[in-house]
Amino acid sequence: MTTHPLPARRNATTSNPPGADSTGSRASILAAARAEFAAHGLTGARVNTIANRAGVNKQLIYYYFGSKDDLYRSALETVYTEIRTLERSLNLGTLQPAAAMEALIGFSFDYLHEHPDFIALLNHENAAGAPHVRDSSAIRDTNSPLVDLIARTLARGIQAQVFRPGIDPVELYISVAGMSYFFFSNRLTLSSIFGRDLGALEATQAYRRHVVGFAMAGLQP
């Protein structure tokens, strides 16, 4: 894999570049990078464009991230952190098992619907062989609590006799995410093949109901 070196990151003893003390600068850079990488991938993205989008001097990107590859990895980590943070805000542990699982499945679908940039980032990363996700301990650590949450919800559902035993939490997550991901990443081709406007709101809402109902039916004893 070709790396994209940038000027060396400054250490703590050197003077900060203009704007480095701004608490919003790093977040602005990551938001701009997320949009640029989603649109063009790592290779096609331009640091100058990211700096312009963020309204910062390019030197500040070098200061915070050191390389284009590291910026790309940080953008991916930020997206995964955002998803997991929003999932925690659902407070699934306070809901009955079936309601908790329905909420999680619905959230997974809705997030992809509302964030096509995440789908684009995943497509770029998978096409490259997923090197940045593979090398990121932060992404693995961020996703571990989700697996634990699904496992606990399944256990509560089994105890309440609303879920069948023997369901692997990782396999369940992949199945649920896969149904939603395939729909949103292939809507244009699927619409052409089947003669349906799958981009229409009614079609999206109908498929959401299908995903939730299909997944929940598979959990029943």
CA torsion 191-192-193-199 (nearest 10°) is: 0
- Helix (H) or strand (E) holding 30, with range, is helix 25-44
As a three-state string, the secondary structure of 93-115 is HHCCHHHHHHHHHHHHHHHHHHC
Look up residue 6 and give its two tokens.
Answer: 């940038």
The reported pLDDT for the residue numbered 24 is 84
Q: How far apart are CA 101 and CA 33, in angstroms?
A: 33
Give the per-residue pLDDT at 21.
52
Q: Supply the pLDDT for residue 8.
A: 46
CA–CA dist 107, 154 (Å, integer): 17
Residue 166 region by backbone torsions, left for phi larger than 0, else alpha for psi between -120 and 50, else beta: left
Residue 34's Cβ-count burial label (10 Å; 0-12, 13-18, 19+) is buried
What letter would DSSP give residue 92? G
Distance (Å, rounded) from C-alpha 73 to C-alpha 172? 26
The pair of three-digit structure tokens given for residue 155, joined into one six-digit string: 């256990």
What residues contact 9, with CB distance under 8 A and at least 6 apart?
62, 63, 64, 65, 66
Contact 92, 100 (CB under 8 A): yes
Under 8 Å between Cβ of 67 and 5: yes
Q: What is the pLDDT of residue 17?
A: 56
Task: Give the separation between CA 157 and CA 196, rounded to whole angstroms.
Answer: 37
| Regions of the chain where pLDDT drops below 70 | 1-23
Task: Report yes or no: 136 and 73 within 8 Å, Cβ to Cβ.
Answer: yes
How is residue 66 annotated by DSSP? S
The tokens 């770029």 sit on which residue? 124
**Which residues have C-beta within 8 Å of that of residue 8, sequence separation ≥ 6?**
62, 66
